Structure 1
Amino acid sequence: MGLVAPGLLLYLVSALCHSGGALRLSQQTQPHVSCLPRMGQDELSTSKPDGTGDAYTNYVAQPGQEGPVVTKSDRLITNFNYTIRRECRKNKKKKLPVGVDLQHFPLSLSVIHLCLATADCQPCIRVCAKLYKAGRLQLRGIRIEFLQLSTNNHYSLRLCSETKAQNDDSWEIQYDCFPADAGHEVIVSLSTIPDYGVQVCRNHTVDEHETDPVFNYSFSLMKKTVSVSVLPGPSVTARLCYQQAFTCEQLGNQSYQQIDTSHSLSAVLSYEFLLPCLCLEVYYSKQDSSRKQVFPFSETEEAYNADLWRSSRFTDWSDEFKDQMKVDFSWPCSRLKPSVSLCWKENEHFDSACLDIANSSVVASGMTYFIDSVDVHPRMCFKFAYRNSSHVWCPNRRDWSVDVEVGVFQLVLQFKSYIPASFSATLCSKNGHDCNSTYLIHTVTKHSTSDTENIELILPFQALGSCVQVWRSDVLFSGKHIICPNYDHGRLGLLVLASLSATVFIIMLLLLLKRCITRIISAPPWRRTILLIYSPDSEEHNILIGAFADFLRVELCCDVILDLWDTGKVAQIGIIPWLYGKRELVERESGKVLLVWTKFSKVLFEQWLTMKLSCGSCHSDPHDLFSTAMACLQSDLKQGDRSKDYFLIYFEGLCEINDIPDSFHTIAKFKLLKDLPDLVCKLQNPAELSCWLKFVIKFFVRRIAQSERSKNLRRRVELSRVRQQSGTQWEEDAAELELISSDVSLIDQSTSSSL
């Protein structure tokens, strides 16, 4: 910035803008030039909605732009490479070439607000210029001069081109900006380097910046209108527009209205689409008035629904014969960025559901979205989503098709493809929208586009009614086509043959079932000699063991060996001879040893291990069944093949799988009564039990589960579980005394019958 004497300055202004060698266009007749777009700035507006005059805008200065330093290039936008110097090379005066008229070079001024971090916002003059055919003039640069008349503030900016301009080149310049004071007149002149003796001048008066108008508004979502009311005063302009990155795009005529406060203080504006970026601007109608903006629907949920997508445009840019989907997307709210992924439609109907494809992130380049290695198909779609709303766009392109024909116990797939591709297919069973497959996958490949013949794939099917899943297997993202052929069409003989075969098979199956059921009723295959081993937890636990033994004896017809039922023999010969004798009996009769395990069993087992390590083979209690059984079990586990004679039983709620020692890993374990069907199957020798008879066993197990003894056993287990959790003594619940007595009587009765 430089200061000169007022007299000399006025002389320079007069010489530049009123002499015959210069051109001074009036403010009304100056040609309009559009300012270049500034990327990264938050500008509210660049022109009035009716297109006349200039308006205030806000320009937020970036770091390094503090103060009116014209040598800062980050305030300058051009379409040519330049440097800022005091003088440019070849700055001599030249004669204007024939046919070139500098008098029509556009130069326009507009008022914006410069807001620095260290000061309040102030008016500022933006300069926009365009020079046509800069190459013919052999321009080396441009000089811009600024002068505020009242204060003699003067700025000069010289731009020197780094490269020589071509004949058809047009130079465009936007400078932000020359600081000015409100209420003062400024003059901006533009001249060329080299000097052709012609200068273009503009003068502009910066009006006093008044306060924003005070207004109220209301809206009707049903009528799609916004009502604006203002206070008495100067005339006010109200308009609706869609706020974009740099401008606010005006809607139709019904969205703009000038309020003459002498006749009315309100206006009703209408809009087409309810969008979150719909902006209401209210400002004084005079030139260079500041605009106040509000966004009525930015937090309204209805603004993020169907209108958001109805106002959008989709343009398919996918390359033909290329495994790529590409779409150009645009909508009025360009500052909002949707999330985009792939989805696969259940069918080609317009309103069918579209299932998301995992890990299908779509690459975005500006507002163009694309993804490679994808099966381009009308059912393979882009899903655009923003907040709680989404929209599906599908391409209108099909690169391949398949037809299915039903043969004799086979399906013939005919593929027609316009591109080289690999296709896979497998049989499946339809289950709702899914098709479950456990069959082999068959693949076929087309290697060249020159091959016009169809490729064929044959699938042998195992059952009538099977469907086929078909998909492209040479791309990362593809959907599975589910095709269910019509087996009835032209296949009457095949259906008759299949029906006869099914009838014969069903008759034979019923005969075999009859024999099996007769055999099971006469002698259940799971009937076995069972030795029952348990830990002496408590009196109620002994009653539970008695109920379980009675269940095995009555419901499963097993020969149960229980020390509680053979107390006389145990007292006569001792627990050790009795246990080993019964163990040998179980082995001779191919029976099983059932070990009932509880949390207390784990404690006794650890004590037994500790005692064994401390005193070797000594036995502390000759009447202890559990310790004797553990010694016998450890001996059998060391032999390996004898561990198959043991089953470990634990009741739900009384023991967990973690309570069972790791050394018992070779013993089969059953959780009752959940695993009762498995226990019944294991009690039968696998060599004698056919696989097709298992459903018969399940039927009888279901019947057994409804029996009275089964219900009694369940009550016993539940009562023991409650007692174990509460920690109360067995005799404290007086309401259960009658049940305890009945169970004790049951044990005594069973003992008497066994004796």
Structure 2
Amino acid sequence: MRVFSCEAKYCGCEEINEAMPVNRLLLNNLTTSTILYCKEKCSPCIRVQLTVSLAGRESKWSRGGSGSKSSKNNADEEIEDEEYNEGFELIYLSAYHSMNGINRCARLKVRFHPTDHELNISPKGTVELRCFRAYVSSNVLIKAFPKRANQKDLQQTHEVEDCTLEDFLENITWCKVPNINTTLEDETQVAVINVPENSYMLFKYNVVPRFDSTNPLVIDNLKMTEVRLNFSDIVPCLCVQAWSAKIEDAIRAEKCPFSQYKQFQENIWKLSGLTVEYKGKALQWTFSSPCSIVGEISLCSKTGDSAALCHEIPHSRQTIQINKLSEFQSVDPHPSLCIKIISGDHVNFSCPFDSGHSLLWKVKSEVKHRNVTLTILHAINEMNFSICTVKGNKCDHFLQNMEVINEQMKQLNLISQDCFQVWRSDVQFSPRITICPFDIYARARWTPLLVPFLILVTIVIFTITIKTQILKGCVKVIKFKPTATVADCSTNGKVLLLYSLDYNLFEKLVSTLAYVLCELKLQVAVDLWKRRELVDQGPLPWFHSQKNKVTEEGGKILILFSNGASMKYNEWFQSSEGTIPMHDPYDGFMASLNCVLPDIIKGNVFGKYIVAYFEDLQKKEDIPDIFNIMPIYSLPSQLPEFLQEIGVPANVKSGWKATSYQSTIKNSLDNVIKECQLWEQTHMPWSQDHCKLKLISEGQQENDTMTHCPLIQMEMLSMI
């Protein structure tokens, strides 16, 4: 039996108010669903279904507020009876669109059989409004309003699907977006982007915060079907948007076609830039980049024209935040202060105070005999300074107070042949200026004699050349020059030599090996030839930069093990587990371990690293096990295999007889090895075996005792 029939009509929302007639319908449930409404064009609609029931006959009398008959006058009762006899009730619905604030309303006129309520039954049924117009991908609040005591409004928020819904994509014009086609032309180094006719196109960088570009392709909407981009203008995060020019506020298609091409990664740095501004004592900076970059930025002290010679200022490192204003607070605006950016293999730096900025302070030095006078001149009265003396890889603070000459001049007199570093201590970040008075003194003293000396050398060379021509035809003897210089090294191959400075004679042995490799047409990088660079940069940055240079050019990293190197590795390993190291952590070899160990842990050593040791000074089993994944050679017994592994050019060997050049190398090394053996026997009666026996006799002791026993005495002896 049909219980209800329903008529729907859209109406103004002002009809929903307190003046609505009271009805006898109970609203039980409200459900919504999305349908497609198509007439000339298709659009999404919300279908609303209400489950309602009709209250019994007593509901007629409840309008007065009680279960008994109302005390209203007879005229009012007659009007109420007429309303009942009409056999219908009204339900109001509203749909509020949060996207644009539009509110749409409808009125449902529900009819029922007059006898239903007279039989004191409560019939139930479902009424439906087929279409509340809606927008794609929107939220709509649906409400049903009854006018009945003790019943609240029913409401539900309906989410209209987006254009990924298949019916929407096929039938709704607004959901149809242009296709974006991309072609890379390698010959012309151009990317071609095509969209259909009557379409707009826009290029954008997929980065937050937004990158401000001057490229007109990124700024303007382009109404064209084809755009050609040079490879140099493309970065991985460059995306293309396209949408219909015929539809107002049309949905946009977006595609990032270059995200998987590594060849465009380098262009990120070409389009990026660093802007700085000095305000007060703060150095404000903004790193603008079209794509996200992971890296760090820091302040450094410049000592040369290369980023590798810019020594990082402690505690200045920050994470790069792109397209956003950041700052370093309390900064000294000195020309030697620079900003260094490191991201992966990229190292960029700029010096904002290089030119056009007044010099606030400077250092002068004078040398008389061994007396050094340092004078600091400063333009601002309230400036304080700190000084340290450079001792190998360390810089010891100088505790002597400076004499104040006047408000803008301070002076320090001392006796020393060391280099000094001077910096401002009244600010947080100041560059360290390195002063080597005796270097300046030596140059000033010997420069006047340089021209006559060069003339004399030229005459001697000319004389020797004439005599050589006379003696032409004599037997040539090839032997190694123990006084070779770094300049003798060829650039056929690169070798980075890492070693532990156990004592002075061992350094001589390392130097001999380095010269041997130079004579074999290899370019050798070793810290004992680069003392000034090492002081300026610090051990860790220097080893890191040298390692990058060698590996990028396909060279080799040679780790030369000795007893001291093994013990320093053990100490380095224990310090990573919380044990306090007794040796200087900035020691050259210990610093190089920080560059080497990450590659070993990752297994990134094959074809890059070689281990060697001198069999008369070190046992192979004393080399830490972690280095066994590298090729290990004993010198000089395995010299031929070692030279082949390290990459001695074939044209060098062909010029010499194998037995001749190998014998010469072996003799050069053997002579120094014997000197080292003799020194160790004389000065090192407490060898490694002695230390082990001592530990066994004293019972169970900590490992660091065994590690440091010879190391401490070795360091003391090397200072004698």
Provide the TM-score with structure 1 as the length reference: 0.34
Specify the structure having the higher radius of gyration (Cα): 1
Structure with greater helix percent? 2
